[in-house]
Amino acid sequence: MTSTAAPPGAPPTGREPDRPPRRRRRFSARDRHDFWVFLALVLPNVALIIAFAYRPVLTNIQYSLLNWTLGSQTATFVGLDNYVRFLTSPSSVTILWTTLVFTVVTVGGSMVLGLLIALALNRRVPGTGVARAAVFSPYVLSGVGVGLVWLFVFDPTIGVLGSVLRAFGGTAPDFFNDPTLSLVMICVVYVWKNMGYAAVIYLAGLQSIPRDLLEASALDGASPRRTFVKVVLPLLSPTTFFLLVTSVLNSLQAFDLIRIMTPLGRGTTTLIYEAYLQAFGGYNRGGYSAAVSTILFALLVVFTMVQLRWMEKRVHYA
């Protein structure tokens, strides 16, 4: 819905006969005025976004082709060496595997728990408003603060989790030094922080399902479980796919918890954390880090595209 295709300042003669009469009355001086007003309103924001969001994507690709120590004034062009180095190093297999496990577990965990909570919230009994807010609250809290609290809970020697397990005759697992358990710990906290978001989105999805559809299904003699599988879940599929896309994108960018809970990244180094560690974890490998984050970026873009295409085809729109 653009108002005029004429360049600003150019006399609009000769084009006017094509326009509806109402337009013609409002042309020229006012439009020129609007042009400048628009620039004044929109340009600051657009300039900031170009400078700090668009430019960096390109600069990052440029960095990724360099052998460049962060902080150094000089760099040498090495072509795709950084990418080759990443793709052929044995630690990359671990990093990609960790990224995959973390993403699948956290996305699956928060969506399944979110759906269960949403089903309970959807019973519309008194008190669900408070429960909804309580369950959502971790989503808005600082990942650093939350991570520290959970470190204390998970601490193998003096953490409350260990003391509870010991009280029941178990032993406290070493979440801090065992790489696999460290990843489990990060996943648990991440799901704790994000399941409320999934719950609220699912609740909105559930509430948009017409009541009479469920009643009809019940009248037909379908058990609640059958109604859920055959009616509710298919109708929720747009919500599920929206959540799947946003959750995967968010999980791939999870940083705060990993940084504060496992600074060394033993067992918890995902792609994004590897990019951070290589540049700011003491190595100062600017070019290599840029290559890793470019790979992450490519992954995010490809994933978004694939998901969007798939959604168009497969999702059942109620």
Partner 1 sequence: MRALTPRKLADAALSAYVPLLLAVIVVVFPLLWMVFSSFKPLPEIITRTPELFPADPTWTNYATATDRLPFAQVFVNSVLVTTIGSAIKVALAILTAYGLVFVRFPFKNVIFAGLLVTLMVPPQVSLLPNYTLITAFGGADTYWGIILPGLGTAFGTFLMRQHFRTLPPSLLEAAELDGAGHWRRLTRVVLPVSGPTVATVALVTIVNEWNDYLWPLVIVSRPDMMTLPVGLTLLANVDNRAAAYGQLMAGSVAVIVPVLIVFIALQRHIIAGLTQGAVKD
In the region spanning residues 74 to 103, those forming contacts with partner 1, defined by CB under 8 A, are none
Q: How far is the CB of 293 from partner 1 (least distance, A)?
A: 5
Distance CA 262, CA 147 (A): 10
CB 109 within 8 A of CB 253: no
Which range touches partner 1 (CB under 8 A), out of 83-91, 95-103, 215-223, 270-278? Answer: 270-278
Cβ closest to partner 1, residue 81 vs residue 155: 155
Pairing between β-strand 66-68 and β-strand 75-77 as defined by DSSP bridges: antiparallel
Residues 172-201 that bind partner 1 (CB under 8 A): 192, 196-197, 200-201
Distance of alpha carbon 45 from alpha carbon 51, whole angstroms = 10
Q: Cβ 91 to partner 1, closest distance in Å?
A: 19
Single residue of 17, 21, 25, 52 touching partner 1 by CB under 8 A: 52
Instruction: Provide φ and ψ at 77, rounded to 5°.
Output: -75, 125
Site for partner 1 contains 143 (CB under 8 A): yes
Look up tokens 């469920």; give the residue.
214
Binder to partner 1 among 216, 301, 302, 306 (CB under 8 A)? Answer: 301
Distance, CA of 179 to CA of 19 (rounded, Å): 69
d(CA 194, CA 233) in angstroms, rounded, equals: 21
8 Å CB contact between 111 and 243: yes
With CB under 8 A as the contact rule, the residue among 82, 105, 175, 259 that binds partner 1 is 259
Nearer to partner 1, 117 or 232 (CB): 117
Structure tokens at 224: 């609640």
Contact by Cβ (8 Å): 89, 312? no
Residues 5-44 that bind partner 1 (CB under 8 A): 5, 31, 34-35, 37-38, 41-42, 44
Indicate which single residue of 228, 242, 307, 311 sits in contact with partner 1 (rule: CB under 8 A).
Answer: 242
Helices marked H in 79-232 — which ranges? 81-88, 90-121, 128-136, 143-154, 160-167, 179-207, 211-219, 224-227
* Closer residue to partner 1 in complex, CB, 70/222: 70
Nearest to partner 1 of 131, 222 (CB atom): 131
In the complex with partner 1, the residue whose CB is nearer, 183 or 271, is 271
Let me know: does 315 contact 239? Beta carbons within 8 Å: no
3-state helix, strand, coil in the chain (%, to 5): 70, 5, 25
How far apart CA 261 and CA 4 sit, in angstroms, is 55
- From 81-89, 92-100, 104-112, 134-142, give the range in contact with partner 1 by CB under 8 A: 134-142
The reply to whether 266 sits near partner 1 by the rule CB under 8 A is no
| 111: contact with partner 1 by CB under 8 A | no
User: How many of the other CB atoms lie within 10 Å of CB of 153?
Assistant: 16
Q: What distance in Å separates the CA atoms of residue 81 and residue 64, rounded to the nearest whole number?
A: 9
Q: Does 1 bind partner 1 (CB under 8 A)?
A: yes
Q: Which of 89, 253, 264, 316 binds partner 1 (CB under 8 A)?
A: 253
Q: Which of 150, 247, 269, 277 binds partner 1 (CB under 8 A)?
A: 150
Of 12-20, 75-83, 97-105, 144-152, the segment contacting partner 1 by CB under 8 A is 144-152
Choice from 10, 79, 166, 309 touching partner 1 (CB under 8 A): 166
